[in-house]
Amino acid sequence: MCSRRIDKIAGVREDLKDAYSWIPGIKDKPTIGGFQEIDYEKVIELRPDLVISASSKVDNLKDKLDPVGIPYIIIFRTLDQDAYDNDLKILAKILEKEERADEFLTWRQNCLSQLKEETDKIKPADRIKVYCESADHEFFAAANSSGVNEMISIAGGKNIADDLAGNPYNVDALVIG
C-alpha cells in the first residue's frame, strides 16, 4: 500500500528525507534541495503534476514555476493551528483520502480537547517557561503570532516571547523574568 503512494512523489527536500526516513523508498527519491534553498532547476526537470510547499517559499514558487506551468499549492503554513484542518482537507482531496483525513481530524480534535482540559488546570504562574527557536532563524524566539507560541500554550507552557507582537525576535533582545 505504501509503495503505491511513494510512487506519486517525484522529489523530496534533503532534510525531509531524513525527517521521514521511516517511509520506505523516501531516501531513493531525487533530492530537490534543502530547507533553505530549493533546486528549482531540478524541480522543473522532474516535471511534477503538483508542487506542495509551505508559505515561506511562495514568492520563489510564483517566479520559478508559473512561467513553466507547473502548478503548486501552499499548505501547512507556519504551524498555524487554525489553518491546519483546512490544509489537511485540501491535501486529502488531492490524494482522494477525504474519509481518512476526517477520521484523523476527529481523533486529533479529541486529543487536543483532552490536553486542553488538563493544561487549563495549570495556573499561569506555574506554567513552565519555554524557549523555542524559529526554524528560519538561528537564535530567534518565536513570538506570539507564531504557531509555535500556540503549541507551547496548548501543551501547558509559557513561551518566553508570548508578550511580544510579531515574529521572530532576536534572543539577545529578550529579557527573561
The continuous run of DSSP H or E covering 141 comes out as: strand 140-141
34 and 47 share a domain?
Answer: yes
Strand partners, 53: 74
Per-residue pLDDT tens, the chain, 177 aa: give them.
Answer: 444 577 888 999 888 888 888 889 999 999 998 877 889 999 999 999 999 887 666 667 788 888 999 998 888 765 677 788 888 899 899 888 999 999 999 999 999 999 999 999 999 999 999 888 755 666 777 777 777 888 888 899 998 888 877 666 666 655 555
DSSP-assigned letter for residue 7 = T
Phi, psi angles (nearest 5°) of residue 31: -85, 135
91 and 138 share a domain?
Answer: no
The closest of 114, 136, 126, 123 to 35, measured between CA atoms, is 136
31 and 18 share a domain?
Answer: yes
Indicate whether this model's pTM tops 0.85. no
Domain enclosing residue 140, as ranges: 125-173
Chain-centroid distance of CA 60 in Å reads 18
Q: List the CATH number of the domain containing 15.
A: 3.40.50.1980
